[in-house]
Chains A and B, each alone.
Chain A
Amino acid sequence: MSDFDAVVVGAGAGGGAAAAVLCEAGFRVLLLERGDALPAAQIPRDHLRNHRLSLYGNNTGPGGAGHPRVSVDALGRAAVVAPHEAAYHNNAMTLGGGTRVFGMQAWRFDPLDFQMASRYGVPDGSSLADWPIGYPDLAPYYERAEWELGVTGGSEDNPFAGPRASGFPLPPVPASPESGWLGRAARSLGWETVTPPLLVNSAPRQGRPACTGCSECIGFACHVDAKNGAHNTVIPRALATGLCVLATRAQAGAIDCDAQGKVTGVSYFQETGEGVVRKAARARIVIAAAGAIETARLLLLSANKAHPDGLGNHSGHLGRHLQGHTYTGAYGILPPGVGYTGAGPGVNIATTKFNHGNPGVVGGALLANEFVSTPIGFWRSGLPPETPRWGLANKRAMREYFRRGVHIQGPVQEIPNPDSRVELDARIRDRFGLPVARLSGTIHPETLQTAEFIRGKAVEWLRAGGAEKVWSFGNSLGLSAGQHQAGTCRMGAEPAASVTDPWGRVHGHDNLFVADGSLHVTNGGFNPVLTILALAFRAAGFAALSLR
């Protein structure tokens, strides 16, 4: 007899959606989350320790000591890194995961994003591949995510997007003077623009208030709970059924699996008032949704005699093809008189004209204006590069430019490669004695070509508007994962070339599923959260059928 119908590991976007689907279908779920269920008041509004700028720490975990990772740089040098360091590639580890503190951009991938290899060919050294499913397979689940969590968007659609059955459930947040200026600049270039879809209440909905337009948005928990994340939509729905047991501060140690490949439950460590307690839950199915780094780590940690290289690693793809987004763009100073409100979220205008069809490069990126900035964030990255770095000249430049800074940027679709990967470190262990994730590899050089092209377009946009100053920086080869981490359990029709089947079920394990960004064969030129949610709704619906 099983304790639960399903154990879901990870209470972020994917795990939260999966738990809601299963519980609402009448199944008993144990939802494991390694972080705490932090109320907003316990997520500090610290401008030096948040998920946008984590100079000395994070505001959402993992907290305390004993959660290191090992990072191997482009020259092969390994270093032990802490969660707030860039090389850790952290995503918020708390109930709701990244959606607790995210920037809320809720894009659907374009139809071409699922067919990258067919459209562009496979660059040397890359593992570029088509998804085993297409945009039409995901469209209904994108719609579920948009309506069930709540997405704001414009009445006009992204002109390059796939067909949609319905509009957005919420109107856009108010436009800013900056976005008006950028819109005029885009029109002068003949570029189509679109209002970025955002997972935020622009009006009261589902018993929670509207966004107040405050100036501490991305990287922080919403002070009125208007960000629509897993923690205030799908997870409460799962709990409301009475069928979901939520265990926080619970670190999965292994998915238990018999010699035939049938998984039987999850062994985990729970931190309690009396110290760490080892527990095991038996279940009919297991869904791994811990993010692309930790899901891969968990499947690797689950190795046993019959599966010595980990679960789903029959063809050596587990943990490989790690990717995120290489960000590029341009900075500028708006002409005097455009106006500044400081209102968040701040992302008000985008173009998707350069996601595909760019001469000589593979893929592309959306370009959008940046979120509202904190003063210290602006001091670090928003000042013109010739500005003196100290003294009265620096102080005067802050006064002159803080309310006139403009930053256009976008997530470049990365060309995956198998050497960018997650492994288990042979030496370093976490506070529970488990080998930690070892991250290595770099982005593919082709990604840099695409980034250079997109950077040029960002510069062109700001120049067309008559910005007073325009500047930008190139990118270099390094590992990419971070908050948009993806790809380590790629889905595919062929077991020899993938970790899961086209539904997210791990090859060779009929009752083990993945429901997070790990599944992404490629990661689009868009923020990935809506795709993660859509895939989780789809995978969990399929998993529920197997429980009947």
Chain B
Amino acid sequence: MNPLPLQELEILRSLLDRLVPADEFDGAIQAGVDDYVVRQLGGDLSALRPAVSGGLLALDAEARSRHGRGFTGITDEERTAILADLEAGNPRAAWENSARDFLNLMISLAAEGFYADPGNSGNRNRASWKMLGYDPRVGDP
């Protein structure tokens, strides 16, 4: 069951795309990192789901306050600039909880989904492992 409404899921995807962007190798979206985050929010991290929802909506408000459009409607460069401001502790919109804590959580989740084993729902087709030249070599799990 999807613990996030569609609007929040789309903001999440736009965020993950900036945390682990695609270049000549797959990024978070191609690797299914959104699936990993959704699964965690429905499982181990279900207690954080309200905070994550609140953070995603605050991120959307952050984009609107700057560009008059939501986070999914602005350019990659504009999204990256917002995240850099949040990391530096300079949000412009009203955040109920710490914007930096939210970003730190999402950075960790993005990395876990991208670099951990595919059994966790991310790292589809071992995208990150192929990029790094890592192979567990234990046969198929």
Chain A residues proximal to chain B, CB less than 8 Å: 44-48, 55-57, 212-216, 223, 340, 342, 374-376, 378-380, 389-392, 394-396, 398-399, 402-403
Contact = CB atoms under 8 A, between A and B. Distances in A.
Contact of B44 (A56, A212, A216, A398): A56
12 contacts: A45-B117, A46-B119, A48-B120, A57-B44, A213-B137, A342-B135, A374-B134, A375-B132, A389-B107, A395-B27, A398-B131, A402-B134
Interface in B90-136: 107, 110-112, 115-117, 119-120, 128-129, 131-136
Nearest to A215: B136
A57 B27 CA distance: 26
Given A215-B134, A215-B135, A342-B134, A375 B107 contact: no
B139 A223 contact: yes
Interface in B42-85: 44-45, 80, 83
A48 B18 contact: no
Interface centre among B25, B107, B137 (most CB of A within 10 A): B137
Contacts of B40: 56
A375 B44 CA distance: 21
Contacts of B117: 45-48
A379 B114 CA distance: 10
B141 interface: yes
Nearest to A395: B20
Contacts of B119: 44-46
Nearest to B44: A56
B44 to A, nearest CB: 4
Interface centre among A56, A340, A391 (most CB of B within 10 A): A391
Contacts of A55: 112
B3 interface: no
A375 B115 contact: yes
Contacts of A376: 111-112, 115-116
Given A47-B120, A376-B116, A216 B136 contact: yes
B120 A391 contact: no
Contacts of B37: none
B120 A215 contact: no
B136 A214 contact: yes
Contacts of A403: 132-133
Contacts of A380: 111
B69 to A, nearest CB: 21
A45 B23 contact: no
Contacts of A378: 115
A48 B112 contact: yes
Contacts of B141: 45
Nearest to A373: B134
Among all A-B residue pairs, the 9 with the closest Cβ atoms: A375-B115, A223-B138, A376-B115, A56-B44, A47-B116, A216-B136, A214-B137, A47-B117, A390-B19
Interface range for B = 20 to 34
A44 to B, nearest CB: 8
A391 B16 CA distance: 9
B80 A399 contact: no
Nearest to B110: A390
Nearest to B111: A379
B115 A395 contact: no
Contact of B132 (A57, A213, A391, A398): A398
Nearest to A224: B138
A48 B112 CA distance: 8
B83 A379 contact: no
Nearest to B19: A390
Contact of B131 (A212, A214, A399): A399
B107 A379 contact: no
Interface string B1-43: 0000000000000000011110101010000000000001000
A378 B134 CA distance: 11
Contacts of B23: 392, 395-396
B122 to A, nearest CB: 10
Given A55-B112, A375-B115, A212 B19 contact: no
A342 B136 CA distance: 8
Nearest to A343: B137
A214 B133 contact: no
A390 B83 contact: yes
B107 A390 contact: yes
Contacts of A396: 23
Contacts of B107: 389-390
Contacts of B120: 46-48
Contacts of A389: 87, 107
Contact of B138 (A214, A390, A399): A214
Contacts of A216: 136-138
B22 to A, nearest CB: 9
A391 B116 contact: no
A374 B117 CA distance: 9
A177 to B, nearest CB: 14
Contacts of A215: 134-138
Contact of A391 (B19, B45, B129, B136): B19
B83 A45 contact: no
Nearest to B134: A375
Contact of B128 (A45, A340, A375, A390): A375
Nearest to A375: B115
Given A216-B137, A403-B133, 6 more contacts: A48-B120, A213-B137, A215-B138, A342-B135, A375-B115, A379-B115
A390 B135 contact: no
A396 B112 CA distance: 16
B59 to A, nearest CB: 14
B130 to A, nearest CB: 11
A299 to B, nearest CB: 35
B81 to A, nearest CB: 11
B107 to A, nearest CB: 5
B18 A391 contact: yes
A88 B133 CA distance: 35
Interface centre among A48, A390, A391 (most CB of B within 10 A): A390
A391 B115 contact: no
Contacts of B128: 375, 398
A444 to B, nearest CB: 33
